[in-house]
Amino acid sequence: MSTDSLRSKPIVIIIVDDHQVLTDALTIILRSQPDLQVAGVAATCAATREALARTCPDVLLLDISLPDGDGLSLVPDVKRLCPETHVLVLTSASDEKTLMRAIDSGVNGFVMKTRPLSEVIGAIRQAAEGEIVMPTGLMHSLLGRMAQARGTRADQPGSKPLTPREREILTCLARGMSGPGIAAALNIAPLTAKTHIRNVLEKMGVHSRLEAVALALRHGLIEPPI
Neighbouring C-beta atoms of residue 195, cutoff 10 Å:
13
Q: Tell which wins on pLDDT, 39 or 141.
A: 39
How many angstroms separate the CA atoms of 133 and 107, rounded? 9
Q: With 90 as the cut, is the pLDDT of residue 173 above it?
A: yes
What is the model's pTM? 0.86
- Edge-to-edge strand list for the sheet holding 86-91: 36-42, 11-16, 59-62, 86-91, 109-112
Q: Would the pLDDT of 2 be above 50?
A: no
Give the Cα separation of 75 and 126 in Å (integer).
19
- Give the SS3 label for residue 155: coil
- Domains for the chain: give ranges and CATH numbers: 6-134 (3.40.50.2300), 140-218 (1.10.10.10)
Q: How confident is the model at residue 3 (pLDDT cuts 50, 70, 90)?
A: very low
Q: pLDDT digits over 61-77, tens only?
A: 999 999 999 999 999 99
Contact 13, 37 (CB under 8 A): yes
Cα 197 from Cα 208, distance rounded (Å): 10
pLDDT in tens, 9-23: 999 999 999 999 999
Evaluate the CA torsion angle 139, 120, 43, 93 in order and state its sign.
Answer: positive
Contact call for residues 193 and 200 (beta carbons, < 8 A): no
Alpha helix stretches (DSSP H) within 11-135:
20-31, 45-54, 75-81, 96-105, 117-128
How far is the C-alpha of 179 from the C-alpha of 4, rounded, in Å? 10
